[in-house]
Amino acid sequence: MTPVALSLALTISLLTAVAATLTYDDVAEASCYLRTYGFLENEENHQQSSSLDNAITLNEALSLFQKYYSLPGNGVLIVETIRVMRRPRCGVADIHAYSPLTRKWTRTHLMWNFRLANRDTLRTIQSAFALWSKQSSLTFSRDPLQPDILISYQSGAHAYENSGDSCPPPRVPFTGPRSVVAHAFFPTGAPNQVTEVHVNETEPWHITLARPPSDKLYLLQKR
């Protein structure tokens, strides 16, 4: 089989399982998702690659994604895969170019604040930090003036609360409800650094500690 024929066969294989319901737009959407969340290298790194190489790379990236989320597919784009990709999720990449374990705070007692949060929200966030503390060596207290972790509601393309600088890529802008629900930034270890957590304000959040209804996202548990 010639390289061109093999490339075509591989591309078609990505659609074979559900050709009646998935389109080339779905393949493009999946490719963009895989790049955004670290499963596939950016396009500029593959400008000189052949269509055969790109088809193989996409197949491998899909396989990695499916293994990461315990999905069937074996590198073939199927309905269940695209459905998982369209779920509301955190905006931080699943696969990192560096080890997150090398990015940490220089102390174990940390201060936090949620900008402009009401009493119910503060109570829920305090419970979330208590859960984190039970599973780690970290302890937390609220400090509205000098937090180590600053949480805020944001929408669309937005900026850091602490500095006013634009929130950089690869963080995904909040495009509306049922998309990216939040994203955060790893600490750098720099003195006086404020680590920010941005929460999509357009999502239908359930704030209180009571059991949430099925059409709401639970702020305490979402990560």
pLDDT one-digit tens code per residue, 173-187: 777 777 778 888 878
% of the chain exceeding 90 in pLDDT? 22
46 annotated ligand binder: no
b/e map 101-116, b = 16+ CB within 10 Å: eeeebeeeebbbbbee
158 annotated ligand binder: yes
- The residues pairing with 166 across neighbouring beta strands, listed in sequence order, are 159
What pLDDT shows up at residue 223?
A: 45
**Among 17-21, 123-127, 157-161, 191-195, whose mean pLDDT is lowest?**
17-21
What pLDDT shows up at residue 109?
A: 95
Residue 166 CA, chain-centre distance (Å), reads: 18
43 annotated ligand binder: no
Spell out the domains of the chain, with CATH numbers in brackets: 3-87 (no CATH), 100-218 (3.40.390.10)
What the block records as the tokens of 34 is 């895989």
What pLDDT shows up at residue 52?
A: 45
b/e map 152-185, b = 16+ CB within 10 Å: bbbeeebebbeeeeebeeebbbbeeeebbbbbbb
What the block records as the tokens of 73 is 């597919």
What is the C-alpha to C-alpha distance for residues 154 and 170, in angstroms, rounded to an integer? 16
Coil, helix or strand for 144? coil
Average pLDDT on 127-138 reads 91
148 annotated ligand binder: yes
Whether the per-residue pLDDT at 53 is higher than 70: the answer is no
120 annotated ligand binder: no
Which tens digits make up the pLDDT trace of 7-52?
445 555 544 444 446 888 888 889 888 988 888 876 555 444 445 4
